[in-house]
Structure 1
Amino acid sequence: MSRGRSIALLSALAAGGALLVPTAAWAAPTTQVIQGDVLRLVSVADWDAASRLLPGEPVQWDVAISADAPDPGTVRIAVSATGDAPLTLDASLCMRAWGPSGCPGGATELRTAWSIPRDGSEIALVEVADTEVAHLRLSITLNTGDEGGTTDVRVHAQGAGESAVVGPGGGLATTGLSPIVPVAFGVGALLVATGAVLVLDHRRRTVRDKEDAR
């Protein structure tokens, strides 16, 4: 293999390796699980996108709330917010898992274009039977003209003598592969392929040199 062809192949491999490395635009939503003795909250959101919230560009946040209570009862679902960035929030409830086209059977609108208070108080959204799984969907938008500051929104659940809260940070159990895994895989594959090309090129040049010396 000529040096020119080796360089061309290495360039192609480098381009292929770059395709294996995900960009920020491809960031997958993060799944977070809060598991208590009774309550279980499963949160799914793209917190990377939420940290760069722009006016008019909502971020979707899904939280599934369920309970394993010893006696029949209800679970109270609420939200709270603290911070200095005004946010508008839409809240919908689905009693089945959300599908690609929305809520099977139709969702219940809990809040629409609601400017959530930012004083930290828990504001009740709905109560459900503890035998059901509530699928809460929040759509959060930064108010137009208010691009400074930050606001922390949290979802609360209370039932069977237990309380649970989930939000963008602090002691949350993250499931799924770490974002570094696809990057390491892509870089590793690129290094292995590059090494193989270099070894092959070296062996062919050695054989050619020996033949020329005869």
Structure 2
Amino acid sequence: MNRRAAYATGVSAILAGVLVAAGPAWAAPSTQVVQGEVLRLVSIADWDAASSLLPGQPVQWDVTVSADAPDPGTVAVGISASGDAALVLDVLRCAQAWGEGGCSGGATTLETGWSMPRDGVEMPLLEMADTEIAHLRLVIALGDEEAGSTRVRVHARGAGESATIGPDGGLAATGAAPIAPWALGGALALVAGGTALSAARHRGATHPSEGGS
């Protein structure tokens, strides 16, 4: 590889590094557990992705609800939302834990294409015996492109106890995460500087000075 090609490759690598560093950080899914006297809620989601939703790029949120009650009873599961960003949800239930390929036994659809109210009022999803386990999958997408964020919570009530689970911040922040102007400017300056230097070297190699022998 000649020096010109090597330099161009180096500049491209620096540019790519700057743009990646300036973009959003996509973390691996994280697990959150809420354990009460009776109720247990387990949440698995990539909250970095969920806090930067883009149109046409839904995220999924798995929530497992179970209970260990001393007496037979029922558990009611619901969901609430409050905020500015409109969300559309599909809510599915699996009899087993969700796997990489989805629900092995076939999922039951509880809601599809649901435009959630954002008034903070809990909406019922299901009611089950406290001996059952609900493996829920929420597929969440933006309903429009208006800026804002919306906070979503899954609720469970049973045996005189209530529990809630969800992210600390807003679930949806619409629009792409902007690239920092200084990062983009620096990247473009690197490209411009690299191109100019490469061109100057090329001219020097093509037209040597008259004093040279």
Please indicate the TM-score interval, normalised by the length of the shorter structure.
Answer: 0.5 to 0.7
CA distance in 1, matches of 2:95, 2:24: 32
Q: In the TM superposition, what are the counterparts of 1:10-29 in structure 2 within 5 Å?
A: 27-29=27-29
Residues matched between the structures, number = 149
The normalised TM-score by structure 2 is: 0.66
Alignment-derived partner of residue 192 in structure 1: none
Higher helix share: 1
CA distance in 1, matches of 2:24, 2:32: 20
Off by >2 Å, runs of 4+ in structure 1:
23-26
Contact 2:154/2:165, CA 8 A, preserved across alignment: yes
Alignment-derived partner of residue 102 in structure 1: 102
CA distance in 1, matches of 2:41, 2:115: 24
Q: In the TM superposition, what are the counterparts of 1:25-174 in structure 2 within 5 Å?
A: 27-144=27-144, 146-169=145-168
Contact 1:95/1:132, CA 8 A, preserved across alignment: no
Give the letter for the 2:163 counterpart: A
* Alpha-carbon shift at residue 25 of structure 1 (Å): 5.4
Amino-acid identity (%): 68
CA distance in 2, matches of 1:157, 1:28: 26
Question: Does the residue aligned with 1:165 lie in a helix, a strand or coil?
Answer: strand
* Alpha-carbon shift at residue 132 of structure 1 (Å): 1.4
CA distance in 2, matches of 1:129, 1:148: 40
Contact 2:30/2:47, CA 8 A, preserved across alignment: yes
CA distance in 2, matches of 1:102, 1:129: 24
CA distance in 2, matches of 1:82, 1:94: 26
Alignment-derived partner of residue 201 in structure 1: none
Contact 1:81/1:154, CA 8 A, preserved across alignment: yes
Contact 2:25/2:48, CA 8 A, preserved across alignment: no
* Alpha-carbon shift at residue 24 of structure 1 (Å): 5.9
Alignment-derived partner of residue 197 in structure 1: none
Contact 1:56/1:143, CA 8 A, preserved across alignment: no
Deviations 1:105-154 (A, max 9, x none): 1111000000000000000011111111110100110123x230110010
CA distance in 2, matches of 1:147, 1:29: 26
Give the letter for the 1:157 counterpart: A
* Alpha-carbon shift at residue 74 of structure 1 (Å): 1.1
Question: Does the residue aligned with 1:49 lie in a helix, a strand or coil?
Answer: helix
Change in Cα spacing, 1:26 to 1:167, as seen in structure 2 (3 Å) is closer
